[in-house]
Amino acid sequence: MTYEEAVSYIKETAAFGSKLGLDNILCLMSFLGDPQEELRYIHIAGTNGKGSVAAYIASALKASGYRVGIYTSPELLRFSERIRINDVEISEEDIARYATDVRKAADEMISRSMGTPTEFELVMAMAFCYFRDKRTDAVILEVGMGGRLDATNVISSSLLTVITKISCDHMQYLGDTPAAIAGEKAAIIKPGGRVIVYPPTQDVLTVYEDECEKKEASLYVSGRADRISSELTEGQCFRLQGREYITSMPGIYEIDNAALAIQALELLRDDLPKITDDTVYEGIAGAVWPGRFEVLSKEPLIIADGAHNADGAKALTACLKEYFGDRKVRLCVGILKDKQYREMLELLLPFASSVIACEVPNPRSLGSTELKAVIEEICPGIAIETAYDVEAAAEAIKKPQQNAAADIICGSLYLVGPIREMLTT
């Protein structure tokens, strides 16, 4: 296949949806020679913060001189963002090559009536083969959804499991309480392994403790950092365990994500001994994760945040309070209809002087007309502009703000990605 044919094949497979369970990926990897067994992993699960924590750890490992594979999803704009080694995305030639190999294996499965791999499983298989062939020192593997039945859980061991903050999302698949969701995430903990977790509530901690006892695994709870200063365009300074660090990411929640990553890196030193205090500091300072309270423009001030569930919206409001106080912002919002859109809007709208209601370029999008109706119900009388696609939303944002401290683009990564590209190129 060519690159264009490979991407088309993957997109066509995505139309069939997702399927939780490991049978497909186990079979597919077997046909490919089980390349996942030849790699070493830092396996990251959680509801919010996975991408940022992955970025911090990857940056520090790169600073330490390691060749690090990174697998994350979904992409903001380009398919190649999902599979990277250090800062370099997989090439179009390698996408074509590995998609061809994986398709052969998938077609063999289908011909034998052994299952039909999903889009996520196909891309995951490509990543495993690519990282093996490129001889990575370690792979940072981000769980797609849940953990227990997620395709990434095909791996049999890991250097370390990392679980970020737990909140309610994908409840139709994972359960309707934080403890139930934590149980799905905790299932990626490996027998005899190690796991470090974001500071949990007691009910979630009990889930982790029970899972670790059952698997004879070691549990570590991340300590919280103390914020020293936060500057919207300069980043943040914080203190953890007597040392000071800086992060270029201005989101208030990033300090806790960075603290979790720093303590994860401490646990990794036995297996990856080139990690030092200096490389951890350098890695945290140099980490970048687009679309998470990211300043796209200083004048006019435009910020993109991928908050796509109620907890993410709550974290975004904390940033709005910190940086804007009582000043209101113009929201550009697009949300998928299977998300907690009412809860998100109830949190965000008190901070808005006006709203651009946008349809997200995804089949699961809440329609802009329906979104507008929900906004009017929650906040009667607020000024709303309807954008039926991302291009219209970008044009609306370019119009001068009236009585707003900033434009905030939020609600879905499927909105943030394309609109970010339009506003920054």
Q: What is the DSSP string of 408-419?
A: EEES-HHHHHHH
Residue by residue, DSSP assigns 169-234 as: -SHHHH-SSHHHHHHHHHTTPPTT-EEEE----HHHHHHHHHHHHHHT-EEEEPPPPEEEEEETTT
Q: Residues 234, 341: one domain? A: no
Q: Determine the average pLDDT of the residues in 306-331.
A: 93
Claim to verify: residue 237 and residue 150 sit in the same structural domain = yes
61: tokens are 């490992």
Under DSSP, is residue 278 helix (H, G, I), strand (E, B) or coil?
helix
Give the range of the structural domain holding residue 397, as residue numbers without chain letter. 294-424
Q: Are residues 157 and 88 in the same domain?
A: yes
Highest-confidence segment of 18-22, 81-85, 169-173: 81-85
What's the pLDDT score for residue 170?
Answer: 44
Asked if 7 and 68 sit in the same domain, the reply is yes
One domain, residues 282 and 299 = no
pTM of the shown model: 0.94
**pLDDT tens digits for range 231-259:** 998 899 999 999 999 999 999 999 999 99
Strands 226-231 and 88-89: unpaired
Instruction: Give mean pLDDT, residues 343-359.
Output: 96
Which one of 232, 252, 286 terminates a domain? Answer: 286
Q: Is the pLDDT of residue 54 over 70?
A: yes
Tell me: do 227 and 158 sit in the same domain: yes
Considering the domain architecture, whether residues 188 and 53 belong to the same structural domain is answered as yes
List b or e across 50-86, with b for residues whose CB sees 16 or more CB atoms inside 10 angstroms: bbbbbbbbbbbbbbbebebbbbbbeebeebbbbbbbe
Cα-based angle 117, 122, 124 (whole degrees, multiple of 5): 125
The CATH number for 330's domain is 3.90.190.20
Co-location of 100 and 229 in the same domain: yes
Residues 282 and 373 placed together within one structural domain of the fold: no
**What are the φ/ψ torsions at residue 366 (nearest 5 degrees)?**
-70, 130
Least confident window among 28-37, 119-128, 183-192, 400-409: 400-409
Are 256 and 304 in the same domain? no
Q: What is the pLDDT of residue 148?
A: 85
d(CA 160, CA 162): 6
Co-location of 237 and 376 in the same domain: no
CATH of the domain at 201: 3.40.1190.10
Tell me, yes or no, whether 45 and 161 share the same domain: yes
Of the three residues 286, 321, 338, the one that is the final residue of a domain is: 286
Total domains in the fold of the chain: 2
pLDDT band at 401; cut points 50, 70, 90? confident
